[in-house]
Amino acid sequence: MTRLAVPKTYKLFIGGAFPRSESGRTYEVLGANGDFLANAAKASRKDARDAVVAARKAVSGWSGATAYNRGQVLYRVAELLEGRRAQFVDEVQASEGLSRRDAEAQVDEAVDTWVWYAGWADKFVQVAGNANPVAGPYFNLSVPEPTGVVAVVAPQGALSLLGLVAVVAPALVTGNAVVAIADERHPLSAISLTEVLATSDLPAGVVNVLTGSAAGIAPWLASHADVNALDLAGAAELDWVDLQIAAADTLKRVLPPDGRDVATRSLERIGAFTETKTVWHTKSML
């Protein structure tokens, strides 16, 4: 018996829930061969503001968790990604027109990247922090802390899953919350990743994912006063200088597109979204 097709309309991921765009707008997601794959929500500036509110609410709880606990939670996400490997391979292959082998390689690298960053959660402070020599009877310690809410433009046009993982995971390591704009043309694996996050131990609001026009959403996040940092990894084709200027008005940290392979794992990506707190403490003279 021939079954009717069940076309899907995917929603946004904000605050651990899956709302429709407040505008009600959607757009067609097409495969590499032009075939219809699904409908996806087209996020508006109101959706972007809602995502920032959700991220801000989540920062204190996530950053206040122990580094060991954050690592365990992030590793659980990798376990769930691995369990749905076949689905992600199918979506990446259909969206990007890759061979089966190349799609499998991208998904495997995405899982391995998530595991790599999860492993740094309880180690990064020891590497990036420092005990500073000072003149006088004091301890002087420098410790990296999360910067807060990080807005991310994921790589656009290729590496739809790996690119998103490579920019979201490092921001989470130290306790930041994230608002990410997914690959506009290939959002399906990003949407499936949000389903993984929703069923993991990650607290609601720690990651929020918007689908739709990066050019339309990014300026609102860059100028938002409650966003603390901006990762422009996928903004090379946008007017990212204007995004930097907008971010400067609210004193944001900005990581501009620099031409390097964003999928390369790096402690620099973790450190880019931390603030260094230096503490003085007197030594006991007894």
pLDDT in tens, 140-186: 777 788 999 999 999 988 888 999 999 999 999 999 999 999 999 99
pLDDT tens string 232-244: 988 888 888 889 9
**Dist. CA 107–CA 126, nearest whole Å:** 30
End-to-end CA distance of the chain: 86
**What pLDDT, on a 0 to 100 scale, did the predictor assign at position 174?**
94
**What pLDDT, on a 0 to 100 scale, did the predictor assign at position 285?**
58
Backbone angles phi, psi at 170, to 5 degrees: -65, -30
Structure token digits, residue 11: 């929603």
**Dist. CA 89–CA 107, nearest whole Å:** 6
**Dist. CA 214–CA 32, nearest whole Å:** 20
Of the candidates 227, 187, 166, the residue with the CA atom closest to the CA atom of residue 12: 187
What rounded mean pLDDT belongs to the chain? 90
Higher pLDDT residue, 262 or 23? 23
Give the model's confidence band at 33: pLDDT under 50 very low, under 70 low, under 90 confident, else very high: confident
Give the model's confidence band at 133: pLDDT under 50 very low, under 70 low, under 90 confident, else very high: confident
pLDDT tens string 244-286: 999 998 888 998 887 677 788 889 999 999 988 777 777 765 5
Residues in the chain: 286
**Dist. CA 216–CA 107, nearest whole Å:** 28
**Dist. CA 84–CA 232, nearest whole Å:** 28
Of the candidates 202, 153, 148, the residue with the CA atom closest to the CA atom of residue 180: 153
Which residues touch 282 (CB under 8 Å, ≥6 apart)? Answer: 137, 138, 139
pLDDT tens string 73-128: 999 999 999 999 999 999 999 999 999 999 999 999 999 999 999 999 999 888 87
For tokens 């075939």, name the residue. Answer: 35
**What pLDDT, on a 0 to 100 scale, did the predictor assign at position 286?**
55
Task: Indicate left, alpha or beta for 15 from its phi (over 0: left) and psi (-120 to 50: alpha).
Answer: left
**Dist. CA 222–CA 107, nearest whole Å:** 30
Task: Name all domains of the chain by residue range, CATH numbers in brackets.
Answer: 9-282 (3.40.605.10)
Type of residue found at 58: A
**What pLDDT, on a 0 to 100 scale, did the predictor assign at position 72?**
96
Backbone angles phi, psi at 97, to 5 degrees: 70, 30
